[in-house]
Structure 1
Amino acid sequence: MKKEIKFSLIYRDMWQSSGKYVPRVDQLKKIAPVIVEMGCFSRIETNGGAFEQVNLLYGENPNTAVREWTKPFNEAGIQTHMLERALNGIRMFPVPADVRKLMYKVKKAQGVDIARSFCGLNDHRNLELSIKYAKEAGMISQAALSITHSEVHTVPYFMSVVDKAIEYGADEICLKDMAGVGRPATLGKLVRAIKEKYPKTIVQYHGHSGPGFSVSSMMEVARAGADYLDVAMEPLSWGMVHPDVITIQEMLKDEGFLVPEINMNAYMEARALTQSFIDDFLGYFIDPKNRFVSSLLIGSGLPGGMMGSLMADLKGVHNVINSVLVANGEHELSEDDLLVKLFDEVKFIWPKLGYPPLVTPFSQYVKNVALLNILQLVKGEERYSMMDNNTWDMILGKSGTLPGTLAPEIIALAKNSGKEFYTGVPQDAYPDVLEKYRKEMIENNWDFGRDNEELFEFAMHEAQYRDYKSGAAKTRFEEEIENAKNQNSEKKSFFKMKEKQSPNRSAYPKEKANESEAIAAFLLYSLNYKPKSVIEHSNPENNVWNTIGFWRNILNVVVRYNSKDIEISYACSKNGNYEIQIGGEIINAKIEYLNEGEIDISVNGKKLFASVSAEKDGSFKVLINGQEFLMSRNDMLFEKSDLEDSETGIVSAAANNLYSPIPGKIFKLNVKEGDKVKKGDVVIVVDAMKMENNLVAKKDSVVKKIHVNLNQMVTGNFLLVELEDIA
């Protein structure tokens, strides 16, 4: 008798492996009946992961979205499943037990049948409560193995996790190959081992296409006895996502498996609808590179599912690294150069961090450590000097037991930093919190929602839920969409400016320029000009707006003029128009022409020509109608000559100042001006790359000046805090 293989459409993961957002609820309701009509899917992944959080970022209610999205599948008898991260629930950091327990009750009530639970460290203790709570809520518990490839991740290793999951009562086992780096033969051996020991247990395989193994892996696990395969469909299949259902169906049919037929008319309709969602707005947040398969992922083991965020983070750090290299008189790195360096650094640090499986959130931790290590090494700093608290929790055992052994230098770093290793059950480190949130909801007169779903959402995604309730999330999202559309229309605008002929300046006004006009000219020149040698070897899209990302709408810089630091806010809007706030004055400016050492701008409709030249002391001379202005940007990295006396080689106090290493948001300020700090004290925390990045004092110092406020968006290299030596 032919072995039957069933398919699950990973519609949520298709989107989140491609870009930042998922379709709105109105779009999901539109496509759901068409997916049902395709007739080939026994299961649909509907939610979990970042689905609920993304809905809050829209300013929409995720509980409504899940109920409306699952309803057509429930009515058609198609099982729905969600993804959750065990100890981390459906967020990136640990969740108290009472919130985890409520999650399963809420999701079952919302129409979700199966809870796919994975622990990124494969610590069975974190899976135990997931299995227990899912079954108590009436859900099917599917325990997932976080697949990766290393000397410690063997078939016996994974089987030890399976044994405990079955002991705890798991109904099914999933091989979650998030990076797609599981070797096909090994995956086949693992499925065969599970089926031989637990023949009645359903096995489902989930594998990304990124490194190129996925089709072969699906054949191997099918031959070994897998029951379900996760698949995707055009236009979001392949690349960093999943294989297309058509290919997998035809391959298995040829091998003699019993597989469902596909209603191709419905497939094409669903394909067209998905494309319309991309065209509507979602395409603005999809990196085209995610459409490609890359064998480079094999060595690093990074998951294809995080490549969207990885490329965005890479761009954010790329310009910062190149600024340091240029300041040191070294050649810049191309984006591809940096990507290879990142993969190499991941391979180097991964075993030293104890081989955490490279799945969410631990893949994010390892990637961030690697990327910031590269930045710190370029700056002459040490590795591991910018690890965030969540990464430390992983290292210290608060997230679970690492599969491998920590390197001696990591253990020494922890001890020297005064950190203690945790050996208890991870969940015990996070006390219950529901009563706190329940009390606040009563005080705010907020509705708990059906089945306490609003209470759950508030407790799970507190910051995002507050922004949703206040309307800030909706406003921010609408601004983000507008900026994304504007940015799309402005692609290659820099090069178009370069191709223009020098304008006729004879009609320009000849009167003296004022301070604000000179600052505007200098600011726009410093933001947008790159030497020709740099342009020829760089990505055309690596301008400041791509670097800082779609969501950073208003930015701040500090310009020094007449011995004063002038804080300036600016934003770029449609057609390259800038709105610049200098003190209480708001001016509108636009670049008319840009070339080496010269810029033509219009300021509030008045056209000006400025020549810009660098001085030996690191400042710039701006010349407008014969009038000179000397100024500099304090948010830019100091040149080497600014930090070091050429004769004595003594580093000045400026070397101790703290700059934002990457674009981000000021999350926490631990000091005020005049405070004394000791070497290693956390002075300021920058929220970037989904992590809270601690910036510490390099030596005992006094806080001279703070240049930022809480929640302020900053670019890379932005001067955050000035520190001076203790007298």
Structure 2
Amino acid sequence: MKKINIIETALRDAHQSQFATRMTTDQMLPILETMDQAGYYALEAWGGATFDVCLRHLDENPWDRLRTIRKYVKNTKLQMLMRGQNILGYTHYSDDVVEAFIGRSIDNGMDIIRLFDALNDLRNLETSFKAIKKYGGHAQGAICYTISPFHTVEYFAKIAVDLESMGADSICIKDMAGILTPKIAADLVVAIKEQTNLPINMHTHATSGTGAMTYLDAVQIGADMIDTAISPLSDGTSQPPTETMHIVLSEMNFDTGLDGDKLVKIASYFKGVRKTFQSAKIFDDKVYQVNPLILQYQVPGGMLSNLIAQLKEVGAENRLDDVLAEVERVRSEVGYPPLVTPMSQIVGAQAVVNILSGSRNTIIPNEMQDYVRGYYGRPAAPINPEFAAKILQGEKPITQRPADLLEPRLPSARKEIEHLHPSDESVISYAMFPEITKAYLERHQVTSEYGWANAGALG
């Protein structure tokens, strides 16, 4: 009986996809010990948008969240999602910040770091891989799946080979938009298994309705791990339900290692959490609906929920379909980037501006301009020459690894907030998110064992 490892996403991707990452640490606490006893291979509990949202919206210390989860989850691996040189932000950071962030994350209890680059430009993962190996973590190299004339099975398999040579301990096929179909999933697993010796973790979303089918075909052909979400936080823009996948895989003679009774308790708890978000009107029915058009638009769950929220803020939610169609057009013009952070935000912002302004590409946000100039990395396909010319105006885009242009940041970051007596962690946070970290520090001038007001030198 083959073991299929299950990674539960309730503490990170599930609520990021459905509730704009608004679950608090206090809402997680009562169920953590039960989750630890349920037999999961890992709990995805940190990374992605959680760090930003903790500081920006929840008035929480994200490092404290990690320590708290580790305190109650004693037996199950903790996993996080990291954006390579972007860390958990939306731009490239210097190598010293990347290494320090990874070191502190592993020191505070993180086991598995899933690394991806939004453009599949592996130069942007080099520093992260080295740091994870240095500090003794598990480096999972993620391939960002997308569909275009340039993104073939052979293209993705070559990335897997390169990730293995960089030191990856496992491979994740990361389908952030839920557009991976069962046949292509099986083809990818076969190709990667033939060319590497690494375990394969499948990650998809249920947005288009193909998620559970994709998992089943991938597992039957050789995938080793799948990401699922406990049922109250599953489906729609989230992952397929944990309980359903457990039952079906068990009937097919796979061993998930999960305790069905514990899953019932976990589901019961998160039903209450979901009701809280529904009452607060954070939950939108659109993120729970199956939308086969996602196979065309390729919009990930988190991006969809954020687009809905942005349009609501300006009273333009009726323009969602127009924006989704515009996302597809913009993406084709800028080299078919996978729609994952930060490219999902960059392409999404351009699409929203184009639709709401009534004029295409007359207003180009700074982040899109930096992308065209090469500051995010190398796209898989050429950018439309007319679009590029508007930005470059005769300049040449950079060709080196973008982070090679960055000076070490931590010394200057510490100096800028030295009057707040920052801890090592607060310096790292400030280097990534200066405004919201400084505001947090000013609100929380307390001293404790891990307090943000502690002094200390970065090692």
Normalised to the residue count of structure 2, the TM-score between the two structures is 0.91
Superposed displacement of residue 283, structure 1: 5.2
- Shift in alpha-carbon separation, 1:221–1:454, aligned structure 2, 3 A: same
Q: Pick one of 255, 265, 283 that aligns with 1:286.
A: 283
**Which sections of structure 2, spanning at least 5 residues, go unmatched?**
446-459
Cα deviations across residues 396-420 of structure 1 (Å, max 9, x unaligned)?
Answer: 211111011111211221233x654
Structure 1 counterpart of 2:379, one-letter code: L
Aligned to 1:463: 435
Change (3 A) 1:310 1:419: farther
What residue is the counterpart of 2:42 in the other structure?
A: 43
Partner of 2:386: 409
Please give the residue correspondences for 1:440-455 in structure 2 after superposition, counting only pairs within 5 Å.
440-441=416-417, 443-448=418-423, 452-455=424-427
Query: CA, structure 1 residues 69+282, in 2 after alignment: closer, same or farther (shift >3 Å)?
Result: farther
DSSP 3-state at the match of 1:99:
helix
**Greater mean alpha carbon deviation, residues 185-194 or residues 310-319:** 310-319
Cα deviation, residue 349, structure 1: 2.3
Residues 128, 165 of structure 1: 8 Å contact kept: no
Partners of 1:372 and 1:105 in 2: how far apart?
39
- What number of residue pairs does the alignment pair up? 442
Partner of 1:86: 84
Q: Give 1:177's aligned amino acid.
A: D
- Rg: which structure is higher? 1
Alignment-mate amino acid for residue 464 of structure 1 = I
Is residue 224 of structure 2 the alignment partner of residue 227 of structure 1?
yes
Cross-structure match for 2:64: 64
SS at match of 1:142: strand
Answer yes or no: is 1:430 the counterpart of 2:426: no
Contact 2:157/2:195 (8 A) holds in 1: no
Query: 2 CA distance for matches of 1:366 and 1:463?
Result: 24
Aligned-residue offset at 1:445: 4.3
Give SS of 1:386's match. coil
- 1:18–1:241 Cα contact (<8 Å) kept: yes
1:286 maps to a residue whose letter is F
CA distance in 1 between partners of 2:427 and 2:384 (Å)? 42
Match of 2:365 among 377, 382, 388: 388
After the TM superposition, which residues 57-136 of structure 1 pair with which residues of structure 2 at under 5 Å, given as runs?
57=56, 58-73=58-73, 75-76=74-75, 78-136=76-134
- 1:428-464 Cα offsets, whole Å, 9 max, x none, are 12221100122234x314141xxx2222222222111
Bigger relative CO (Cα 8 Å, ≥ 6 apart): 2
Q: How high is the sequence identity, in percent, across the aligned residues?
A: 31
Q: Distance in 1 between matches of 2:95 and 2:279?
A: 37
Question: Are 1:297 and 2:294 matched, yes or no?
Answer: yes
Counterpart amino acid of 1:409?
A: E
CA shift at 1:340, angstroms? 2.2
Q: Retained in 1: the 8 A contact 2:161–2:196?
A: no
- 5 Å matches for 1:687-702? none
1 or 2, which has the higher helix percentage?
A: 2
Q: What is the Cα-based RMSD across aligned positions, in Å?
A: 1.9
8 A Cα contact 1:208 1:305, kept in partner: no
Write the distance in 2 (CA, Å) between the matches of 1:445 and 1:402: 40
Contact 2:426 2:437 in 1 (8 A): no
Distance in 1, matches of 2:71 and 2:108, equals 8
AA matched with 2:271? Q
> What TM-score, normalized to structure 1?
0.59
1:256 corresponding residue in structure 2 = 253
Q: Pick from 337, 345, 351: which aligns with 2:326?
A: 345
Alignment check: 8 A CA contact 1:299 1:343 kept: no
Which residue pairs with 2:375 in the alignment?
A: 398
State whether residues 233 and 274 of structure 2, in contact with CA within 8 Å, keep that contact through their aligned partners in structure 1.
no
Residues 420 and 442, structure 2, Cα contact 8 Å, conserved in 1: no
- Which residue matches 1:158? 156
- Mark the runs of 5 or more structure 1 residues left unpaired by the alignment: 320-334, 474-727
| 1:408–1:267 distance in 2 versus 1, CA, 3 Å | same
**Which residue does the alignment assign to 1:16?**
16
User: Which residue number in structure 2 is paired with residue 167 of structure 1?
Assistant: 165
Distance in 2 (CA, whole Å) between partners of 1:203 and 1:394 is 30
Cα separation, 2, equivalents of 1:127 and 1:415 = 26
**Paired residue for 1:209?**
206
Q: Distance in 2 between matches of 1:351 and 1:279?
A: 39
Residue in structure 2 matched with residue 53 of structure 1 by the alignment: 52
Equivalence for 2:453: none
Question: What amino acid sits opposite 2:389 in the alignment?
Answer: A
Deviation at 1:254, TM superposition (A): 2.9
User: Cα deviation per residue 1:564-602 (whole Å; 9 max; x = unaligned)?
Assistant: xxxxxxxxxxxxxxxxxxxxxxxxxxxxxxxxxxxxxxx
Q: CA deviation at 1:276?
A: 3.1
| Cross-structure match for 1:679 | none
Structure 1 pair 263/223, CA: closer, same or farther in 2 (3 Å)?
Answer: closer
Provide closer, same or farther for how the CA distance between residues 61 and 349 of structure 1 changes in structure 2, counting only shifts above 3 A: closer
Which stretch shifts more, 155-164 or 136-145?
155-164
SS at match of 1:385: coil
Partners of 2:162 and 2:287 in 1: CA distance: 36
